[in-house]
Structure 1
Amino acid sequence: MTKKKELSPELKAECEAAKSLFVSKKNALGLTQASLAEAADISAAAVAMYLNGTNPLNSKFAAVLSRLLGVPVESFSKRLAVEIAGLTSINHQDAGLSASEMVRQMLAAKGKGLSEAARANLLAAAEHSDLGGMVPVESSRPGQVGDEVWIAHYDVRAAMGGGQIPHEYPEMLQDIRVSPKHLRDLGVTFKEHFHLKMITGWGQSMAPTIKDRDPLLVDITVREFTGDGIYLFSHDDMLYVKRLQKKGKGHFKMISDNKHHDPEDIRVDDTYILARVLLVWNANLV
């Protein structure tokens, strides 16, 4: 049997971004892989192959995912955003038509080979666009800096205090669109933009560096201690955002920037680093 060819890094990044968005929003929206499969008229196994990066995303699945999550296709695939936008702009004489009207024309002319479910999903996505839910054609163009990308928000609560168990909670900041070049100009160091995620810190123990509910930009590929810094980590089944310093061979010193909180010694073997904090998205009142 021929081994399946591995996806390119770009296509795998699309799958990872799609999975991150799905995982971060599924609980709030009451979605499962089974319900996603039903909406896309495919098997649950096929959904898993898309989200796990075995198969590349296609426009049909992207349109369904965009509609169910309420996010633009561009947030996980610029490639498919452009492709879907192309479906809604068949030629210049259609400029006055809505997205759904243009897709109906496209389906009538070229959609004979599509299943009824696929036709329905494309039309639903276009109707969602009419209501402002999808990215319009113009949004696929580069922004002012020229390299803006979407960064997904992870639905976890990272405590800057006594530790907290992740669960649902309201957020000030959801998925964001940023320029990797601008981040690097600010001194943020990372390899690929799709390694970056947003989380929210809760509590006062890291003040004034990180205030309660400040959004944090983290690199989820950092899964081990890489030097003194602020990390997202799990210890005793609780999540923390704290400074870590190596203390001897088998211990970390867990440090709070708030001087009212004393440092603690924790075992390296009981600490699981999940990400490194790269940037605090402070919102200071003026």
Structure 2
Amino acid sequence: MDIYSIRKQQLISLIGNQKKGACAERWGMAPAHLSQILSDKTAKNLGDDVARRIETVEGLPRGWFDSLGATDKGVMPATAASQSSEDAPKSTAADLVKQMLAKVGGLSTAARDRIVAAAEEPDDGSSGLLPANFAALRPTNEEIVIRQYDIRAAMGHGQVPPDYTEVVRNLVVREEILREKGVSYTSKTALAMISGWGQSMEGTINDKDLVIVDKGVQDFIGDGIYVLTWHKDLYIKRVMRLDEENYRLISDNQHYENQTARIDDVTIHAKVLLIWNARKA
């Protein structure tokens, strides 16, 4: 049995009777990605990065997925432990803090280490470290959590769209910053971040710049920069409607030619709102 077969068997054991969608959300991955890993009809495997992230979220020892013996030796994930007998040992404060930090973005490694170290200090009877102290790590009513997806959209010759979208981190932004930039959006949950790739939009969006997009916009709503698929490739392009049948796909870098695309051949996935170098799209 290879490593990926072991991980799949461990994943099935970990999920148990839980809803797959809830597990996927907790682990920061797309439900479709999880379904592909569990399916016998696809060749998707549980990779190292995702395996380590799930172990962290569930409070499991590093490498738990890589050995069937881990389950045999009584190592249980936090979710399974919570569903077991009331006599089961309770998670320590440090374990709970680690699980919480695994879901919080924007903290440096040093900051995380200090928080975990504080949680591991022995209880001397004082109030010490309380879960309420970590409320500041969560967005307030005036802040928005924007998920960054592991997607790169080409600003040049095009990228093949990925089979799934995986969250790599979260960004917390104050709403007033977006308002100051004149950014409007369909809903908070429709906001996402992806990476630009290439030089065709240079001057506006540079190579590997992060951009905030609105996934709620999936139709042309006026001239602007869009994330789109054209002839099966994923692009970030400035789009202008030429007539009832054609778009003009414009590259802001003058060294690249603009292109005419049939509207029927173009699928719009999102509208670019802000380049994360403080330049408004």
The reply on whether 1:42 has 2:22 as its aligned counterpart is: no
CA distance in 2, matches of 1:125, 1:34: 29
For 1:177 and 1:255, the matched residues in 2 are separated by 31
- Matches of 1:126 and 1:205, distance apart in 2: 48
Alignment of structure 1 residues 36-75 onto 2, 5 Å: 38-43=13-18, 46-48=19-21, 68=54
- Give the aligned CA root-mean-square deviation in angstroms: 4.1
1:226 to 186, 209, 221: 221
> Distance in 2 between the 1:177 and 1:194 partners?
12
Seen in structure 2, the aligned counterparts of structure 1 residues 47 and 252 have a Cα distance that, compared at 3 Å, is same
* 1:217-251 deviation digits (Å, cap 9, x = unpaired): 00001000000000000011100000000011111
Structure 1: distance between partners of 2:139 and 2:209: 26
| Match for residue 178 of structure 2 among 183, 186, 197 | 183
CA gap of 1:247–1:213, structure 2 versus 1, over 3 A, is same
Q: Is the 8 A contact 2:144 2:174 kept in 1?
A: yes
Structure 2: distance between partners of 1:251 and 1:235: 12
Distance in 2, Cα, partners of 1:264 & 1:178: 35
CA distance in 1, matches of 2:177, 2:140: 8
Aligned length: 198
The 3-state SS of whatever aligns with 2:189 is: helix
| Unpaired stretches in structure 1, ≥5 consecutive residues | 1-28, 53-64, 73-102
Q: Report matched runs for 1:155-166 at 5 Å.
A: 155-166=150-161
* Structure 2 match to 1:209: 204
Equivalent in the alignment of 2:84: 115
Show the 5 A alignment for 1:267-278: 267-278=262-273
Note the 1:187-202 alignment, pairs <5 A.
Answer: 187-202=182-197
Uncovered stretches (5+) of structure 2, i.e. residues with no partner: 26-50, 59-77, 105-130
Distance 2:273 2:13 in 1: 39
How many Å apart are 1:179 and its aligned residue? 1.4
The 3-state SS of whatever aligns with 1:224 is coil
TM-score (normalised: structure 1): 0.57
Query: Identity percentage over the alignment?
Result: 34
